[in-house]
Amino acid sequence: MIANVLCGTENMSRKDWLEQRRKGIGASEISSIAGINPYSSPYVVYLDKIGELPDMEQSEAVEWGLTLENVIADKFTKVTGIQHKTCKYILQHPDYLFMLCNLDFVFEENGKTGSLEIKTTSERNKEDWLDETGEVQVPEYYMLQVQHQLCVTGYDYAYIACLIGGQKFVYKKIEREDEIINYLIQIEKNFWEENVLKRIPPAMVGGEKETDVLKQKYPDAIGEINLHPKALEYVTKRREADKVIKEYEKIKDSADNELRLLMGEFEIGYIGDIKIRYPKISKELIDIKKLKQEMPEIYKKYIYKSESRRLYI
């Protein structure tokens, strides 16, 4: 199978690139549609595809990831001896036209072509990439991304390489898994035909990105509305979840206090390779009430208004 070339991307503006991507589902979006991406959701992807996603600034982490792509790819070649080259196209599955992908790089190995996916992550995500024995593993949401790429391109395998915390380089070979690919085809087809084409929003899955998008989409609060009866279901779910959260918060608080008791006056404690810190922290704060009373002009000069919406039940 040979993928279609939807368009070339060399010298393409980000705006045009995003417009082309709205013609289908990209590899980086499949984990969101599957509901396992910790940074996005099906609803966020849906809004993007129908052209209603609010403008959101690209994070600094994403910018650095793009900046370091070539450096990490060169490190991959240095470590493995496998040569790579850029792929300046948006590719399209020849049968499922809604399945698209951009490849960071492609490589040739033993007469076979494959894709090379590049990632960066912070030190705090180290355990997502290395198991307890130090073996390299791939987070599930990135595994789906690569399987989507293998589906679109028809390649048998790919490599994924990651720079952890700016210091630790890891890579792993990912074989094509047709069972996973068949699952991806089904859920992407359903999302494209039942949600995007019919303009029916998918169910919410929660998460910070989804919440931020909703707040930006509906920033103002005006008037009243009689909600659909289904709203009662969500109110009930929320109340039940709140009870469970409070119960677990109490368990967490009790565990914290047991640790505080064991730590006593010590700042640092160890349990095997686990490090616990209990430092004394001091802050310098401004007494807003006193400042407003004694220096009202200065208070007015530096005060600013912050607006947001909060949900109450």
The b/e string for 194-208 (b: 16+ C-beta within 10 A; e otherwise) is: ebbeeeeebeebebe
Report pLDDT for 173: 97
Distance (Å, whole) CA 20 – CA 14: 10
Report pLDDT for 79: 96
Distance (Å, whole) CA 160 – CA 68: 14
Report pLDDT for 47: 95
Report pLDDT for 48: 95
Distance (Å, whole) CA 21 – CA 90: 8
- Residue 203, SS3 per DSSP: coil
* Dihedral sign from CA coordinates of 107, 108, 110, 113: positive
What domains appear along the chain, each with residue ranges and CATH number?
4-214 (3.90.320.10), 231-302 (no CATH)
Report pLDDT for 303: 86
Report pLDDT for 251: 97
The pair of structure tokens assigned to 102 is 């951009």
* Residue 8: its H or E element: strand 4-8
Report pLDDT for 91: 96
Report pLDDT for 66: 83
Could you tell me which residues are beta bridge partners of residue 101?
91
Distance (Å, whole) CA 71 – CA 274: 33
Backbone angles phi, psi at 236, to 5 degrees: -65, -45
Backbone angles phi, psi at 98, to 5 degrees: -80, -5
pTM: 0.82
The pair of structure tokens assigned to 34 is 């599957």
Instruction: State CA 197 to chain mean position distance.
Output: 24
Residues of the chain with pLDDT below 70 are 56, 58
Report pLDDT for 304: 85
